[in-house]
Amino acid sequence: MSLLQPKYPLKDPLPKIEDPDHLPEGARLLAIFEEQPDKYYYYFVQRGDKLLFLDVRKNTPLGLLVHQKVFPLRVLSWFPKALEAFGKPPAEGGLHAGAMMAPAEDVDGEMLAVGSTIDGYDITNFSRSTSTHYYNPASIALTWEQLYEMGLLELWKSLGEKYEKGDL
């Protein structure tokens, strides 16, 4: 049992996608971020009004590994804006000095927050647990290298713009 207790009501889990290259009916691939060819990928998959963020590891000693995190689809436009708070001074709406995590925000009924890590940022969904046995908030860690040097933030922003325009 986890020492963490949910602060917010938990949403029901969605069925796990086992093979991102063969999506189930009702799931649609929005984009793939390739971190390392033939090895590491992030799949952005839409399933209704949810974004399934799939951390995919191919060609491992255990075969294909898929870690699925669920967020409201609006995280596509919310995350880049929420990230801006880390670059602004408090007087301009930024976080107070020393803040490691922004306050959780209600994003389409799910409580999300952006936090600072040693080498980047994470997005935490406090309304979803990655375990059915204990509370473990869904979280994805994104490095500065992925976001700023490898183009993940630009991809994320382009998906957010499509979402805002109603093109998803």
pLDDT in tens, 12-64: 989 999 999 999 999 999 999 998 877 899 999 999 999 999 999 998 888 89
Residue 68 bridge partners (DSSP):
54
Q: List pLDDT tens digits, range 108-154.
A: 999 999 998 899 999 999 999 988 888 889 999 999 999 999 999 99
Q: What is the pLDDT of residue 37?
A: 77
Q: What is the pLDDT of residue 1?
A: 45
Q: What is the pLDDT of residue 90?
A: 67
Binned at pLDDT 50, 70 and 90, residue 99 comes out as low
Q: What is the pLDDT of residue 39?
A: 86
Q: Is the per-residue pLDDT at 72 higher than 60?
A: yes
CA distance 101 to 139: 13
Greater confidence (136 vs 158) lies with: 158
CA distance 40 to 145: 14
User: The tokens of 36 are what?
Assistant: 């390392």
Q: Is the per-residue pLDDT at 96 higher than 80?
A: no
- Which stretch, 65-69, 80-84, 96-100, has highest mean pLDDT? 65-69
Q: Is the per-residue pLDDT at 73 higher than 60?
A: yes
